[in-house]
Amino acid sequence: MLGIRIEGEYHWGYWVRIPGTSKQQSALPLPPPTSLIGALAFPLARRGLLAESVGQGKIVGETIFPVFNGKCAPLSTASSFADAFLGASMFLNGKAIMWEDINKYTTVHFHATQGNPEEKAAGGRRYLEKYRTGAISSGKVLYPKGKATIFFIFDEETLSKYILPPWDRNLEETLWSISRIGSKESIFSVNKAELVEVKKKSEDVVKTKLYFPAEAGEVRTGEEFRSYKLAFWKGGWGRDDPPVFSEYVIPGSRSPISSEAISVRVKGSSYEFASDEVMILER
């Protein structure tokens, strides 16, 4: 089976928001699989390498504009080929720090009008001063010149339908065009990128630094303190594509944010890139 292995580094760090929490701006400790797939989708779309048949609407830049019953609902281009990826994961090669500070933001656009007498008299909620600004906790992960390693496993037959031929060459060249992982400010430089053959593991217990779905593996007794759990999600590519959340096991520490190999009893399947670089999948 083919996989992708990328080594690179963040310039200052990164931040990732949870879908549906636009006012709550605390950041996740690590970018989830959707952010990794999105990081690859952006340069593919920018270079015009996505097949015309991808998605259900017109591709403009890094956005798909599908139309359902006459209604346009923009989606990320990542939605067009996310089903080709069997798994995506990563780990940090160093230590990062979560930072949150309080800032005064315009918050009126986060409020839905309730239609009460006070709002009606003012002409709408946006005209009431008490709703115009608010103290918002803004989070980010500080990781200057921080190195990270990114992994993907994909279905070759499916992915080859989504990328223009020669799909494998176009894909490998595009890996070097990844410029951000997380928000658009989360600048990332690729130092090494390659398509690799990954080997399916037959062992019941493996050691890995890569995060994985909690249902796919069980941390060995005595090593629970060397990992923590986070809620990541599938989907959530647009307003009409709600995310489906599931729990992931993150090997390493939450504070400071770091990755380390842990022993896991595999319930699904596992594929090895290198020593301590094993991706655990639900199936």
pLDDT at 154 over 80: yes
Are 155 and 15 spatial neighbours (Cβ–Cβ below 8 Å)?
no
Whether residues 56 and 153 share a domain: the answer is yes
Residues 6+ apart with CB under 8 A from 32: 16, 230, 232, 233, 248
Asked if residue 149 and residue 273 are part of one domain, the reply reads yes
Helix (H) or strand (E) holding 169: helix 167-175
Query: Could you list the residue range(s) of the whole structural domain that residue 204 is in?
Result: 2-96+143-281
Same domain (yes/no): 22, 67 = yes
β-bridge mates for residue 103, sequence order: 136
Same-domain check for residues 107 and 92: no
Computed over every residue of the chain, the mean pLDDT equals: 88
Are both 52 and 115 inside the same structural domain? no
118, 137, 156: which is the final residue of a domain?
137
pTM (2 d.p.)? 0.86
For residues 6 and 119, membership in a common domain is answered with no
Kindly state the average pLDDT of the residues 10-31: 84
In whole angstroms, give the CA distance from residue 199 to residue 272: 5
Residues paired with 9 in a beta bridge: 147, 189
Same domain, 46 and 61: yes
Closest-CA residue to 219 (of 195, 252, 192, 191): 252
Contact 141, 13 (CB under 8 A): yes
At 228-254, the pLDDT tens digits run 999 999 988 877 788 999 999 999 999
Same domain, 132 and 240: no
**Domain count within the chain:** 2
Query: What is the radius of gyration, based on Cα positions, of the chain?
Result: 21
pLDDT for res 68: 45
CATH number, domain at 277?
Answer: 3.30.70.3120
